[in-house]
Amino acid sequence: AEEGFSIAVVEAQSRLGGRLFTVDGHDLGGQWISPAHTQMHDLVKKLSLKTFQQYDEGNSVLDLGPQIERYEGETPKIGLIGLMDLQVQVFWKLDSLRMQVPVDAPWDHPRAEEWDSVTVEDWKRKNMWSSESKRLFDLIVAMLLGCHARELSLLFFLH
């Protein structure tokens, strides 16, 4: 720091790193950027940083504990009940709620205060019934947002 200036690191979590987070050897958070992340690619170029190709061929590994499963393709193999649970509760119901939230002013939604006081974990426990789909949902939340469902308000998640 230059003379006369002090630096303070302010972090909302109990650890440094923001969305960059590794748990039990699994990267959860900002470990990759997709072609759709154009602003991030612009920043990488501006800072003269390098990226590397993400390996995405062959088998994938899904660790839902207690079992570890290998699968091919984009979609992990889970049971019929788990698939139905994900389709109905997550893809249909959550997407329907998401479409109701104004992008520019989520706080204007009639249920904003209610949804902001409920965590995604609370919603999951109330609406999902399959333990397999709940574990997969937790993994998806952690991978995409770098945190746990218990750390997100439903309103933030829907927005």
* Residue range 67-108, pLDDT digits in tens: 777 888 777 777 888 888 888 888 899 999 999 999 999 999
In single-letter form, the type of residue at position 34 comes to S
CB atoms < 10 A from the CB of 46, how many?
8
Residues 6 or more apart from 151 whose CB is under 8 A from it?
119
Residues 6 or more apart from 136 whose CB is under 8 A from it?
62, 64, 76, 78, 82, 86
* Residue range 37-78, pLDDT digits in tens: 788 889 889 988 888 777 677 888 877 667 777 888 777 777
pTM of the model: 0.62
In this structure, are residues 143 and 63 in contact, taking their beta carbons and an 8 Å threshold? no
Rounded CA separation 65/44 (Å): 35
